[in-house]
Amino acid sequence: MEQAQIQIQVNGESLTYVGVETVAQLLTHLGRDNVPCAVEVNQQLVPKAKHSQHQLHGGDCVELVTLVGGG
Amino acid sequence: MSETKPHTSAAHIPAPLASRAANLSTETMANQSEFTTPPLHVGSFQLRSRLVVGTGKYKDFAQMRLALQASRADVITVAVRRERLFDKDGHSLLDALPLDQLTILPNTAGCFSATDAVRVARLGRELLEQLGNPGQRWVKLEVLGDKTTLLPDPIGTIEACAELVKDGFEVLCYSSDDPIAAVRLRDAGASSVMPAGSPIGSGRGIANREAIMILIDLLKNPAHGGRADYPVIVDAGVGTPSDVTLAMELGADGVLLNTGIAHAADPVQMAHAMRLALEAGYFGYKSGRIARKLLGTASSPWSGTFTHIPGE
């Protein structure tokens, strides 16, 4: 069966994925599944406990953030 | 800071001095052993060090780590930013910090609206939950009014503060030095108000000391509706150790700074200097300064003088 293709915005970049249906799958795809990473979809926080349930849809705007040096 | 107790027991003093030391009153001896700054309580947090330092603008992580050590700060601030998706080899701040020894205070730097500040605060909390760091309970709220001055937007800060308090955060609010804005933030539920000495990164120190004094009075003087243990932390603009000392001499409970250390020619040595300056200001304030006088007052007695005194 052919996997669905979706186009989403990730950190401001337009990216097209095949076989990426959930936040957890997106993080795995980007190699961010084992590092601290907070996720927002369409400006709403998706807590880590919900990463595997949260379905991504075409046009979703995803932010993946981390902690950096700051004052 | 508690490990820097002065050596007051006779065991540390060479023999000829030991007999003189024994003549000191036991009261003095006891007081000397108490010359350590007590912890600062902010909301449910207890800070061992009253100096809170940022982690931005360092040349590299190694230098940052050494400066943080020299500052003896146990609370450090960090920012929330986008992951660089395709730069997996980039070193992470999180790998460079001894996270088990530090409480992280995430900020909302770069936010220009209450809505964005609330989003960023929630993302910061999510990251600290993932890390298991106690800093997940609090946030350093910044809602900026303008990118040129980096001065806070007082209305946006109050809105965001109220929203975050409702959401369970302990909120430390970056504020201007305006005393009434500070009172409004306190009334909106802020765990601490953190007035800017001067614009962020400006190194101009305490630009308006009277404003800071009035702000501290309104927030901490029970006779004026304040609470003596309400924490006021001077944040931003601090350039030199004497700026830190002055903030503490004005009655601040702590100082938060970043650029003053990170951009010094020798950040590690400057971190040490800032720590000492904070202690000097703390004890100076607690000791009660002398009144200012216009004219001179001799320290040596006039009685018993036997030399010519003009006019007498």
What pLDDT score was predicted for residue B255? 98
What pLDDT score was predicted for residue A59? 95
Gap from A48 CA to chain B (nearest CA, Å) = 8
What pLDDT score was predicted for residue A4? 81
Give B52-78 pLDDT, tens digit per residue. 999 999 999 999 999 999 999 999 999
Chain-chain contact of A69 with B94 (C-beta, under 8 angstroms): no
Closest residue by Cα to residue B247 from B304, B301, B207, B191: B207
* CATH number attached to the domain at A5-65: 3.10.20.30
Q: What residues in B contact A68, CB-CB < 8 Å?
A: 56, 78-81, 93
> Distance of CA B90 to CAs A30, B79, B84, B261, Å?
14, 17, 8, 24
| Residues of the domain holding B172 | 45-287
CA distance A5 to A20: 8
Give A17-54 pLDDT, tens digit per residue. 999 999 999 999 998 888 899 999 999 999 999 999 99
Choice among B57, B59, B140, B286 that is catalytic: B140
Give B97-143 pLDDT, tens digit per residue. 888 899 999 999 999 999 999 999 999 999 999 999 999 999 999 99
Gap from A39 CA to chain B (nearest CA, Å) = 7
What is the pLDDT averaged over residues B223-234?
97
Q: Judge whether residue B176 has pLDDT over 70.
A: yes
Residue at B154 is within a domain: yes
The strand pair at A44-46 and A38-41 is best described as antiparallel
Task: Please report which confidence band the pLDDT of residue B241 belongs to, taking 50, 70 and 90 as the band edges.
Answer: very high
CATH of the domain at B165: 3.20.20.70
Mean pLDDT across chain B, nearest whole number? Answer: 90
Closest residue by Cα to residue B154 from B118, B193, B116: B193
Residue at B304 is within a domain: no
Task: Give the one of B78, B83, B236 whose C-beta lies nearest to A69's C-beta.
Answer: B78
Residues 6+ apart with CB under 8 A from A5: A16, A17, A18
Residue at B9 is within a domain: no
What pLDDT score was predicted for residue A54? 97
The neighbouring-strand residues paired with A38 are: A65
What is the pLDDT averaged over residues B180-185?
97
What pLDDT score was predicted for residue B19? 45
Task: Please report which confidence band the pLDDT of residue B24 belongs to, taking 50, 70 and 90 as the band edges.
Answer: very low
**Spans of all domains in chain A:** 5-65
What is the pLDDT averaged over residues B277-282?
98
